Amino acid sequence: MSDQQTPHATPDVSGRTIAVLGGTGDQGRGLARRFALAGIDVVIGSRRAERAQTAADELGGSDLPIRGLENAAAAAAADIVIVAVPWEGHRDLLASLEEELADKIVVDCVNPLGFDKQGPFALPVEEGSAAQQAAAVLPRSRVVAAFHHVSAVVLLDPEVDDVDLDVLVLGDDRDATDQVRALADVIPGVRGIFGGRLRNAHQIEALTANIIAINRRYKAHAGIRITDV
Protein backbone atom coordinates (compact mmCIF):
# COMPACT_ATOMS: atom_id res chain seq x y z
CA MET A 1 0.00 0.00 0.00
CA SER A 2 1.42 3.41 -0.96
CA ASP A 3 1.61 6.36 1.42
CA GLN A 4 -1.22 8.06 -0.45
CA GLN A 5 -3.50 5.11 0.34
CA THR A 6 -2.84 4.93 4.06
CA PRO A 7 -5.29 6.47 6.53
CA HIS A 8 -2.41 8.53 7.94
CA ALA A 9 -1.42 10.23 4.66
CA THR A 10 -2.28 13.92 4.38
CA PRO A 11 -1.94 16.45 1.54
CA ASP A 12 0.58 19.28 1.38
CA VAL A 13 -1.00 22.46 2.77
CA SER A 14 2.16 24.58 2.77
CA GLY A 15 0.86 26.77 -0.05
CA ARG A 16 -2.52 27.48 1.54
CA THR A 17 -3.50 30.80 3.08
CA ILE A 18 -5.20 30.44 6.46
CA ALA A 19 -7.56 33.01 7.95
CA VAL A 20 -8.37 32.97 11.66
CA LEU A 21 -11.63 34.77 12.39
CA GLY A 22 -11.59 35.86 16.00
CA GLY A 23 -7.84 35.90 15.67
CA THR A 24 -7.41 38.59 18.31
CA GLY A 25 -8.60 36.22 21.06
CA ASP A 26 -6.18 33.92 22.85
CA GLN A 27 -7.09 30.74 20.97
CA GLY A 28 -7.10 32.49 17.60
CA ARG A 29 -3.79 34.22 18.25
CA GLY A 30 -2.23 30.96 19.43
CA LEU A 31 -3.26 29.07 16.32
CA ALA A 32 -2.23 31.95 14.06
CA ARG A 33 1.20 32.07 15.70
CA ARG A 34 1.84 28.34 15.33
CA PHE A 35 0.77 28.24 11.68
CA ALA A 36 2.90 31.28 10.86
CA LEU A 37 5.89 29.72 12.63
CA ALA A 38 5.43 26.74 10.30
CA GLY A 39 5.76 29.08 7.31
CA ILE A 40 2.08 29.18 6.37
CA ASP A 41 0.60 32.48 5.22
CA VAL A 42 -1.83 33.59 7.94
CA VAL A 43 -4.45 36.34 8.00
CA ILE A 44 -5.95 37.39 11.32
CA GLY A 45 -9.55 38.54 11.08
CA SER A 46 -11.36 40.91 13.41
CA ARG A 47 -14.28 43.32 13.31
CA ARG A 48 -11.73 46.10 12.94
CA ALA A 49 -8.78 45.81 10.58
CA GLU A 50 -6.62 47.96 12.88
CA ARG A 51 -7.15 45.62 15.80
CA ALA A 52 -6.36 42.61 13.60
CA GLN A 53 -3.13 44.18 12.37
CA THR A 54 -2.11 45.07 15.92
CA ALA A 55 -2.52 41.41 16.91
CA ALA A 56 -0.49 40.34 13.87
CA ASP A 57 2.29 42.79 14.76
CA GLU A 58 2.38 41.55 18.34
CA LEU A 59 2.71 37.94 17.17
CA GLY A 60 5.70 38.55 14.98
CA GLY A 61 5.22 41.47 12.66
CA SER A 62 7.52 41.33 9.64
CA ASP A 63 9.34 38.27 11.01
CA LEU A 64 6.39 35.94 10.31
CA PRO A 65 3.99 35.56 7.35
CA ILE A 66 1.06 37.03 9.25
CA ARG A 67 -1.14 40.08 8.66
CA GLY A 68 -4.44 41.48 9.88
CA LEU A 69 -7.64 42.37 8.02
CA GLU A 70 -11.30 42.97 8.72
CA ASN A 71 -13.23 39.69 8.95
CA ALA A 72 -14.80 39.77 5.49
CA ALA A 73 -11.51 40.64 3.79
CA ALA A 74 -9.68 37.97 5.79
CA ALA A 75 -12.22 35.32 4.80
CA ALA A 76 -12.05 36.34 1.15
CA ALA A 77 -8.23 36.18 1.13
CA ALA A 78 -7.95 32.65 2.55
CA ASP A 79 -8.20 29.07 1.29
CA ILE A 80 -9.01 27.65 4.73
CA VAL A 81 -10.85 29.69 7.36
CA ILE A 82 -10.74 28.93 11.08
CA VAL A 83 -13.63 30.21 13.19
CA ALA A 84 -12.47 31.01 16.73
CA VAL A 85 -15.05 33.60 17.75
CA PRO A 86 -17.11 33.75 20.96
CA TRP A 87 -20.16 31.49 20.86
CA GLU A 88 -22.52 34.41 21.39
CA GLY A 89 -21.64 35.95 18.02
CA HIS A 90 -21.08 32.72 16.11
CA ARG A 91 -24.24 32.49 14.00
CA ASP A 92 -24.46 36.18 13.13
CA LEU A 93 -20.84 36.44 12.02
CA LEU A 94 -20.98 33.37 9.81
CA ALA A 95 -24.28 34.43 8.27
CA SER A 96 -22.77 37.80 7.40
CA LEU A 97 -19.83 36.07 5.64
CA GLU A 98 -21.77 33.43 3.70
CA GLU A 99 -20.63 34.82 0.35
CA GLU A 100 -16.96 35.18 1.32
CA LEU A 101 -16.89 31.64 2.77
CA ALA A 102 -18.59 29.91 -0.16
CA ASP A 103 -16.62 26.96 -1.60
CA LYS A 104 -14.00 27.19 1.18
CA ILE A 105 -13.01 24.86 3.99
CA VAL A 106 -14.38 26.38 7.20
CA VAL A 107 -12.89 24.96 10.40
CA ASP A 108 -15.12 25.55 13.41
CA CYS A 109 -13.39 25.32 16.79
CA VAL A 110 -16.04 27.12 18.83
CA ASN A 111 -17.14 25.53 22.10
CA PRO A 112 -20.66 26.48 23.27
CA LEU A 113 -20.07 26.54 27.01
CA GLY A 114 -21.62 28.14 30.05
CA PHE A 115 -20.06 28.78 33.44
CA ASP A 116 -21.58 28.88 36.90
CA LYS A 117 -20.47 28.24 40.49
CA GLN A 118 -20.08 24.54 39.72
CA GLY A 119 -17.79 25.19 36.77
CA PRO A 120 -18.06 24.85 32.99
CA PHE A 121 -20.90 23.01 31.25
CA ALA A 122 -22.02 22.40 27.67
CA LEU A 123 -24.82 24.57 26.32
CA PRO A 124 -27.62 23.12 24.18
CA VAL A 125 -27.43 24.03 20.50
CA GLU A 126 -30.51 23.80 18.31
CA GLU A 127 -28.57 22.37 15.36
CA GLY A 128 -26.72 19.91 17.61
CA SER A 129 -23.34 21.65 17.80
CA ALA A 130 -21.55 24.83 16.82
CA ALA A 131 -20.08 23.04 13.81
CA GLN A 132 -23.51 21.87 12.67
CA GLN A 133 -24.81 25.40 13.10
CA ALA A 134 -21.97 26.58 10.87
CA ALA A 135 -22.90 23.98 8.25
CA ALA A 136 -26.52 25.10 8.35
CA VAL A 137 -25.61 28.77 7.99
CA LEU A 138 -22.96 28.09 5.32
CA PRO A 139 -24.53 25.61 2.88
CA ARG A 140 -21.91 26.35 0.20
CA SER A 141 -18.93 25.82 2.51
CA ARG A 142 -17.09 22.62 3.50
CA VAL A 143 -17.41 22.71 7.28
CA VAL A 144 -15.01 20.78 9.49
CA ALA A 145 -14.82 20.68 13.30
CA ALA A 146 -11.32 20.77 14.82
CA PHE A 147 -8.90 22.47 17.26
CA HIS A 148 -11.36 22.48 20.18
CA HIS A 149 -8.97 21.22 22.86
CA VAL A 150 -5.79 23.18 22.20
CA SER A 151 -4.45 25.24 25.07
CA ALA A 152 -4.04 28.88 24.12
CA VAL A 153 -1.49 29.24 26.91
CA VAL A 154 0.65 26.49 25.40
CA LEU A 155 0.26 27.78 21.84
CA LEU A 156 1.38 31.25 22.86
CA ASP A 157 4.25 30.13 25.10
CA PRO A 158 7.59 30.89 23.35
CA GLU A 159 9.27 28.30 25.59
CA VAL A 160 7.13 25.47 24.19
CA ASP A 161 8.49 24.12 20.91
CA ASP A 162 6.51 20.87 20.68
CA VAL A 163 2.81 20.78 21.57
CA ASP A 164 1.83 17.42 23.10
CA LEU A 165 -1.62 17.04 21.53
CA ASP A 166 -3.83 15.16 19.10
CA VAL A 167 -6.41 17.29 17.28
CA LEU A 168 -9.67 15.48 16.54
CA VAL A 169 -10.98 16.43 13.10
CA LEU A 170 -14.62 15.77 12.22
CA GLY A 171 -16.47 16.27 8.97
CA ASP A 172 -18.37 14.75 6.08
CA ASP A 173 -15.97 15.77 3.29
CA ARG A 174 -12.92 13.46 3.20
CA ASP A 175 -10.70 15.87 1.29
CA ALA A 176 -11.57 18.71 3.67
CA THR A 177 -10.86 16.66 6.80
CA ASP A 178 -7.56 15.46 5.29
CA GLN A 179 -6.48 19.05 4.64
CA VAL A 180 -7.36 20.07 8.20
CA ARG A 181 -5.50 17.05 9.58
CA ALA A 182 -2.50 18.19 7.54
CA LEU A 183 -2.87 21.69 8.95
CA ALA A 184 -2.76 20.30 12.48
CA ASP A 185 0.32 18.28 11.57
CA VAL A 186 2.38 21.39 10.75
CA ILE A 187 2.47 22.27 14.46
CA PRO A 188 5.41 20.35 15.96
CA GLY A 189 4.20 17.60 18.28
CA VAL A 190 0.58 17.75 17.06
CA ARG A 191 -1.26 15.08 15.08
CA GLY A 192 -4.50 15.56 13.21
CA ILE A 193 -6.74 12.51 13.79
CA PHE A 194 -10.01 11.87 11.95
CA GLY A 195 -12.67 11.75 14.64
CA GLY A 196 -15.88 10.96 12.78
CA ARG A 197 -18.74 12.70 11.03
CA LEU A 198 -19.84 16.25 11.71
CA ARG A 199 -22.97 15.00 13.48
CA ASN A 200 -20.74 13.91 16.38
CA ALA A 201 -19.10 17.31 16.86
CA HIS A 202 -21.30 18.06 19.88
CA GLN A 203 -19.41 15.41 21.88
CA ILE A 204 -16.07 17.02 21.06
CA GLU A 205 -17.29 20.52 21.88
CA ALA A 206 -18.86 19.39 25.17
CA LEU A 207 -15.69 17.53 26.19
CA THR A 208 -13.98 20.91 26.46
CA ALA A 209 -15.91 21.49 29.70
CA ASN A 210 -14.30 18.37 31.15
CA ILE A 211 -10.84 19.43 30.04
CA ILE A 212 -11.29 22.87 31.61
CA ALA A 213 -12.34 21.15 34.85
CA ILE A 214 -9.24 18.93 34.68
CA ASN A 215 -6.98 21.92 34.11
CA ARG A 216 -8.48 23.80 37.03
CA ARG A 217 -8.20 20.84 39.37
CA TYR A 218 -4.64 19.91 38.45
CA LYS A 219 -3.37 23.39 37.51
CA ALA A 220 -2.42 22.03 34.10
CA HIS A 221 -2.87 22.66 30.38
CA ALA A 222 -4.12 19.19 29.50
CA GLY A 223 -4.74 17.94 26.00
CA ILE A 224 -5.82 14.68 24.36
CA ARG A 225 -3.81 11.80 22.92
CA ILE A 226 -5.39 8.92 20.97
CA THR A 227 -3.68 5.56 21.53
CA ASP A 228 -2.95 2.79 18.99
CA VAL A 229 -3.18 5.09 15.96
- Residue 185's CB is within 10 A of a number of other CB atoms, namely 17
* pLDDT of the residue at 214: 96
* pLDDT of the residue at 219: 97
Question: Taking the mean position of all CA atoms in its chain, how far away is CA 148?
Answer: 7
* pLDDT of the residue at 7: 62
Distance CA(229)–CA(63), nearest Å, equals 36
* pLDDT of the residue at 2: 44
Q: What is the pLDDT along the chain (229 residues), one digit of tens a residue?
A: 444 456 678 999 999 999 999 989 999 999 999 999 999 999 999 999 999 999 999 998 778 999 999 999 999 999 999 999 999 999 999 999 999 999 999 999 999 999 999 999 999 999 999 999 999 999 999 999 999 999 999 999 999 999 999 999 999 999 999 999 999 999 999 999 999 999 999 999 999 999 999 999 999 999 999 999 9
